[in-house]
Structures are given as structure tokens and as C-alpha cells.
Amino acid sequence: MGNASIVRTTGLTKRYDHQTAVDQVSFQVMEGEIFGFLGPNGAGKSTTLLMLLGLSDPTEGSAEVCGLDPQKRAIEVKRLVGYLPENVGFYNDLDAVQTLQYIADLSGMEKKKIQSSIEEVLTTVGLTENATKKVGAYSRGMKQRLGVAEVLLKDPKVMFLDEPTLGLDPDGAQKLVELIQSLNQERKITVLLSSHNLHQVQKISHRVGIMIRGKMVAEGSIEALAREKFGLGEEQYSLEEIYMKYFREG
Amino acid sequence: MHGLFAVYKKELSDHFSSFRFVILFALIAMVSFITTYMAAISLKENLEGVAKPTFVFLMLFNTAGAKVSMVDFVALFGPIIGLVLGFDAINRERADGTLVKLVSQPIYRDAVINGKFLASATTIAIMLVSTILIISGFGLTLLGVVPGSEEILRLALYLLISIFYISFWLGVSILFSILFRSIATSALASVALWLFLLLFVSVGASVIANIAAPIDKRQGADPEVVMENSRWQENVSLVSPMVLYSKASGTLIDPMRKSTQSLIMVSGPMEQISMSRFQNPLNFGQSVLVVYPYMVALVAISLICFAVSYLVFMLQEIRT
């Protein structure tokens, strides 16, 4: 694992008219790691991700993704970062190949490479057999995998996955998590994974960050957080127990 | 630029494979077939044995064969084409959750709205061009007249302002699709605005005209006041893009029309003599001069409308 940080924010803040969605958030994601991004609904995780992509301007503070300022160089950042939004949608009357073709066109891929890249990512996510089926007929699990395929098509350095396992059956969620882990290990893609499934996050994350009501209340490896909350020699506590303790205090 | 082109390509192929395009095109093709056929039949009867007036070909477009002429039809129902192509442009992507995905690709955000607008405008242009070609083909076979170069010029300019006119309505509906989250709301708002401008502007204009220049019926109308009243009415009703467009296109298509005003009072005997001497059609340049302000206004309102949608879209939070 590299030591350089690939995402770094300093005092990142987003205020809407009456409320502060993200409040002075500073954290880092190291190159090559899986970073579990946790927090209750409405804690500001998605807003933070949007600011990291340059899709939303921070009120205060700054962010750096792959050494670039997403506010000023959004296009370059978006070329390096694959983003799978929460509840991602698809054009229901296109099939998987057409969907990926559109994404390839949008990211300005070379015409010659598109065909082979599409086949490759479809194999990676295991959708080759359903490649010519309309996306409208896909199950939720298949849609999420197609979402990952869209992200992979860009050959990203970093993936931001916002609740990728939400609403999936246990088996589908398990497979998706394994896919994410293998991408991280084999392709060395850094992953920023936001999820409510703490059990799965614990299994694959190297480090986690916990965000509550717009504030990043904890950042570090699970063992380190356990030590911090429950004392020395208490590393056996699960992520769920740690999270609940933070949540009650926050 | 690749982003704009990718969105344009996708939207265009969406339009061409969509039911709404097929329905719209079928409707327009049907109406233009019927109106032109009726127009051609009545022209044929009326012109039998008479020395042919110049510009017979253009009369295909402005003769009311079956209740309305082609020109009127575009003025009244052309807006529907623009509205139907644009009313769910942005809010459908938002509802389907594809908008966030779209803008998280390495493209500028304006590529989305520009691509959508251009694709719909292209669709409109294709519809209008093919309709006019169909009518022209009809004219050639039914009437046996060939359009002269000036007639072709007039038709080309008519086509251009029609595209701008319908694009204005496209801009309106895209604006509504940005402003309103719900697709049903934006569709209703578009239709409501169309109906309002279609039906109520003329009523409003006559109310305002009667307040500003009341005609006293008991004493017999004073010509000055009648003129004043009519001027008020015409100017106020120009608020409606339909009036703006139908005056411009009507004057452009009919070389015998010397003015966009419908009521011209000629009182003095000398003036009447000069009017009667002036019975030749206007040449192309003069017609253009007459409708020039109308054309500029049409282009301006379509551009302003699109500019507003562009701004609102660029400044809007992408989430929510």
C-alpha cells in the first residue's frame, strides 16, 4: 500500500440556507486502500462525495483528489474518479452494451478501444450473458453490477461507491463486496466505500471514517478506533459496536 | 466537445426511436396532407381558365383548404411539437437518477443541456423540412406549377423562422423541466402557457385596447379612435409569440401583403389612388424588410428563453 494520500480534505464545509450539511470535515484516503465511509442517513456523506467530484462547490475549505482541486479542474478529476451514486439510475430502454457505449462516448474514449473495453468490464462484473438484455428488465443486483461496470470502463484510479449494496439480497451484496475487494487487490484501485452494512465494511476496509451530523468524528483503522473508544487491548470490538458508541455520543 | 456530441447523438437516437416522435410526425404529416390537398383542389377550381397569378406555389401554404392553412397550422400547433420534445428533458433524468451519473462523467455540465436542446431542435428542423418538401411535391403533381427562385427563397426563410419559433417553445418546455421536479407538473405548465397565449392574449388585448381607446358606439365611430383602438389591440397581442410568428410568416409567404397590420384605413382620395396603383406584389427584399423586426424578436425570445434555462440549470444544485 502506498503512503501517499489520494483524497485529502481540509475543513471542507457545505452550508445550505438553514443548515450545515458538511461541517469542517478533514480526512484522508491513502492510495491503494479501501476506505469505509460510514454514518447515518443524512450525515453528509453524499454531499462530501459530490464536493470531491466538483459537482457541488464547498462553502469553505478545500479538497484535493489525485493532487487536483476538484473545484477548478473538475473534468480532470472526473476522468480519474469513477463515481457510483446512491440509487443510480439507468436508461431502461438501452441494453448493457448500449449503456456502456454511451458512458464510453461521454468519457471520450478512443473508438477502437471501446468494443474490447466493454467486453472486458462485462466479464469482470459477470454480465456477459445479459449484455443484450434491456436494463429495464435487470434485477437490482444486476443493475448495481452494471453501475460498477460503468465505473470500471473509465479505468479509474479511485472509485467512490455510494451505498452500492443498498437493497441487495445477501448473496448479491456478498458478491458485490467480493468484486470490490478483488478490484482493489488486483487492479490497485483505491476505493472510498460508503455503506450501512458495517459487517461487510469491517471485512474489507483498511481504514474507516465515521461521519455524524456533518462532522467527521473518527478516522482510522478499526483496531485503532476500538482502542480509542474501549481502551487498550480491546481490539476485539466489532465495527458495529464502535459505530454505535460513536453514534450515541455524537 | 466529445461530451456535447455524445449527448446529442444519444438524444437524437432517443427521439427517432420514441413513440412521441412517431405520433407527432404522423399527426403533422396527416394534417399537412389534408390541408394541402384541400388547398390544391380549391386552387385548381378557382384558377381554372383564369390567367395564373404569380406565386401560385406559395398559395398552397396559405390557402385555407380545410378550415386552416398550413401556415396557420404551424402557428397554432407547432408549439406542441416543441413542448412535447422538451417537457421532460431534465426532470426525467433527475427522476430516473441518471442526471448525477451523467454529470459525473468527464464532461462540462452545459454539454447536457446544449446537447438536449440541439438534438430536439434538429428533430424539429427535420420534421419541418420534410413536411414542406412533401407539400411541395404535392403542389408539383396536383397543380403542375414549379416554384420560382423567389418562392424558394421565401419558403427557406419561412422555414428558418418556423424553426426558431418552435425552438422557442422547446426552450420554454426545457425551462419548465428544469424548474419543476415532477414531469406531470412541467407538462401541465407547458400546455397551460400554450393555451393561455393561444386563447387569452387576444381577449386581454381587446380589453386593454377598449380601455385605452374606447369606441363610443352611440355617436358612430370616429375613424381616429378606431385606428387607435386597433393599434392598441395589435401591439398588445404581439406579447403572444403566436401572433408575432403568424404575422411574420403570413407576410413572408404572401407577397401581396404589404404590412403586418391587419387594419389599414385609407381616408383621403389621393391616398386611395396611390393604394390602388400599388397592387403589385412586394419583392423579396421588401417583404423581408417588413417582417424584419418580427424575425429579430422571434430569434431573440428563443435565445433568451434558452439562455434562462441554461443559467438556471448551471446554477442549480445537482442533487435534490
Q: Which helix (H) or strand (E) holds A211?
A: strand A207-212
Q: How confident is the model over B138-164, as a mean pLDDT?
A: 87
pLDDT in tens, A48-66: 999 999 999 999 999 999 9
Side-chain-facing half-sphere of B259: CA atoms under 13 Å: 8
Q: Which three cell numbers stand for residue A36?
A: 469505509
Q: Which residue of A has its CA nearest to B92?
A: A91
B183-195 helix and B149-179 helix, angle to the nearest 10 degrees: 130
Residue A208 in this model has a pLDDT that exceeds 60: yes
Residue A2 in this model has a pLDDT that exceeds 60: no
Nearest CA to CA, how far is B131 from chain A (Å)?
A: 29
Interchain proximity A105–B9, CB inside 8 Å: yes
Interchain proximity A55–B104, CB inside 8 Å: yes
What proportion of chain B, given as a percentage, has pLDDT over 70?
88
Q: Which residue of B has its CA nearest to A93?
A: B14
The pLDDT score that the predictor gives to residue B134 is 85
Closest CA to A44 of A195, A245, A164, A211: A211
- Among A85, A91, A106, the residue with its CB nearest the CB of B107 is A106
Q: How confident is the model over B66-70, as a mean pLDDT?
A: 73
Identify the residue whose cell numbers are 385609407: B266
Q: How confident is the model over B231-250, as a mean pLDDT?
A: 88
Which chain A residues are within 8 Å of B103, Cβ to Cβ? 55
The pLDDT score that the predictor gives to residue B50 is 67
Residue A45 in this model has a pLDDT that exceeds 60: yes
- Among B101, B106, B317, the residue with its CB nearest the CB of A75 is B106
Identify the residue whose cell numbers are 447536457: B112
Instruction: Tell whether B5 lies on the interface with A, counting CB pairs under 8 A.
Output: yes
* Domain encompassing residue B122: 2-315
Identify the residue whose cell numbers are 455524537: A250
- Among B93, B96, B104, the residue with its CB nearest the CB of A83 is B104
pLDDT in tens, B267-314: 667 666 666 666 677 788 888 888 899 999 999 999 999 999 999 999
CA distance readout (Å), A149 to A101, A115, A129, A136: 11, 14, 14, 16
Residue A204 in this model has a pLDDT that exceeds 60: yes
Domain-located, residue B144: yes
Instruction: Tell whether A146 lies on the interface with B, counting CB pairs under 8 A.
Output: no
Residue of A105, A110, A157 to mutate, testing the B interface (most B Cβ within 10 Å of its Cβ): A105
Which residues are bridge partners to A64 per DSSP?
A8
Q: H/E/C letters for each residue in chain B?
A: CHHHHHHHHHHHHHHHHCHHHHHHHHHHHHHHHHHHHHHHHHHHHHHCCCCCCCCHHHHHHHCCCECECHHHHHHHHHHHHHHHHHCCCCHHHHHHCCHHHHHCCCCCCHHHHHHHHHHHHHHHHHHHHHHHHHHHHHHHHHCCCCCCHHHHHHHHHHHHHHHHHHHHHHHHHHHHHHHCCCHHHHHHHHHHHHHHHHHHHHHHHHHHHHHHCCCCCCCCCCHHHHHHHHHHHHHHHCCCHHHHHHHHHHHHHCCCCCCCCCCCCCCCHHHHHHHHHCCCCCCHHHHHHHHHHHHHHHHHHHHHHHHHHHHHHHHCCCCC
The pLDDT score that the predictor gives to residue B52 is 63
Distance between CA B3 and CA B10 in Å, rounded? Answer: 11
Interchain proximity B101–A108, CB inside 8 Å: no
- Among B7, B96, B107, the residue with its CB nearest the CB of A89 is B96
Distance between CA B3 and CA A102 in Å, rounded? Answer: 10
Listing DSSP states for A24-75 in one string gives EEEEEEETT-EEEEE--TTSSHHHHHHHHTTSS--SEEEEEETTB-TTT-HH
Q: How confident is the model over A34-57, as a mean pLDDT?
A: 92
What proportion of chain A, given as a percentage, has pLDDT over 90?
74
Q: Which residue of B has its CA nearest to A84?
A: B101
Distance between CA B261 and CA B233 in Å, rounded? Answer: 11
- Model pTM score: 0.90
Rounded to 5 degrees, φ, ψ at A34 are -105, 120
Q: Which three cell numbers stand for residue B162?
A: 418556423
Instruction: Tell whether A140 lies on the interface with B, counting CB pairs under 8 A.
Output: no
Residue count of chain B: 320
The pLDDT score that the predictor gives to residue B263 is 55
Distance between CA B156 and CA B168 in Å, rounded? Answer: 19
Instruction: Tell whether B9 lies on the interface with A, counting CB pairs under 8 A.
Output: yes
Interchain proximity A108–B106, CB inside 8 Å: yes
Residue A12 in this model has a pLDDT that exceeds 80: yes
Domain-located, residue B320: no
Instruction: Tell whether B200 lies on the interface with A, counting CB pairs under 8 A.
Output: no
pLDDT in tens, B151-162: 889 999 999 999
Which chain A residues are within 8 Å of B3, Cβ to Cβ? 106, 108
The pLDDT score that the predictor gives to residue B286 is 83
Task: Please give the mean pLDDT across all residues of chain B.
Answer: 86
Q: How confident is the model over B257-272, as a mean pLDDT?
A: 65
pLDDT in tens, A75-88: 999 999 999 998 89
Instruction: Tell whether B20 lies on the interface with A, counting CB pairs under 8 A.
Output: no
- Cβ–Cβ pairs < 8 A, chains A and B: 67
Nearest CA to CA, how far is A106 from chain B (Å)?
A: 5
Identify the residue whose cell numbers are 443559467: B311
Q: How confident is the model over A104-129, as a mean pLDDT?
A: 93
Closest CA to A64 of A5, A113, A124: A5
Rounded to 5 degrees, φ, ψ at B107 are -130, 160
Residue B252 in this model has a pLDDT that exceeds 50: yes
The pLDDT score that the predictor gives to residue A250 is 73
Residue B68 in this model has a pLDDT that exceeds 90: no
The pLDDT score that the predictor gives to residue B264 is 60
Instruction: Tell whether B98 lies on the interface with A, counting CB pairs under 8 A.
Output: yes
Do B35 and B68 touch, CB atoms closer than 8 A?
yes
Residue type, B245: Y
Do A141 and A168 touch, CB atoms closer than 8 A?
yes
The pLDDT score that the predictor gives to residue B141 is 86
Interchain proximity A89–B97, CB inside 8 Å: yes
Sign of torsion over alpha carbons B114, B117, B119, B122: negative
Which chain A residues are within 8 Å of B9, Cβ to Cβ? 105
Interchain proximity B3–A56, CB inside 8 Å: no
pLDDT in tens, A153-188: 999 999 999 999 988 899 989 999 999 999 999 999
Angle at A165 between CA A161 and CA A171, to 5 degrees: 140
Interchain proximity A105–B2, CB inside 8 Å: yes
What domains lie within chain A, and their CATH numbers?
5-26+36-219 (3.40.50.300)
The pLDDT score that the predictor gives to residue B65 is 62
Assembly ipTM: 0.90
Phi-psi region of A67 (alpha: psi -120 to 50; beta: other; left: phi over 0): left
CA distance readout (Å), A196 to A165, A166, A239, B99: 9, 8, 11, 24
How many domains does chain B fold into? 1
Instruction: Tell whether A50 lies on the interface with B, counting CB pairs under 8 A.
Output: yes
pLDDT in tens, B94-120: 999 999 999 999 999 999 999 999 999
Q: Which residue of B has its CA nearest to A150?
A: B101
Instruction: Tell whether B183 lies on the interface with A, counting CB pairs under 8 A.
Output: no
Instruction: Tell whether B19 lies on the interface with A, counting CB pairs under 8 A.
Output: no
Q: Where are the alpha helices (DSSP H) in A35-187?
A: 45-52, 74-80, 96-106, 111-125, 140-153, 170-187
Residue A1 in this model has a pLDDT that exceeds 50: no
Task: Please give the mean pLDDT across all residues of chain A.
Answer: 91
Residue B150 in this model has a pLDDT that exceeds 70: yes
Which chain B residues are within 8 Å of A85, Cβ to Cβ? 97, 100-101, 104
Instruction: Tell whether B108 lies on the interface with A, counting CB pairs under 8 A.
Output: yes
What proportion of chain A, given as a percentage, has pLDDT over 70?
99
**Least confidently predicted of B10-19, B218-227, B233-242:** B218-227
Residue B320 in this model has a pLDDT that exceeds 60: no
Strands A207-212 and A34-38: parallel
Domain-located, residue B238: yes
The gap from C-alpha A232 to its chain's centroid, in whole angstroms, comes to: 31
Q: Which helix (H) or strand (E) holds A84?
A: strand A81-84
Which chain A residues are within 8 Å of B104, Cβ to Cβ? 53, 55, 78, 83, 85
Domain-located, residue B111: yes
Q: Which three cell numbers stand for residue B174?
A: 426545457
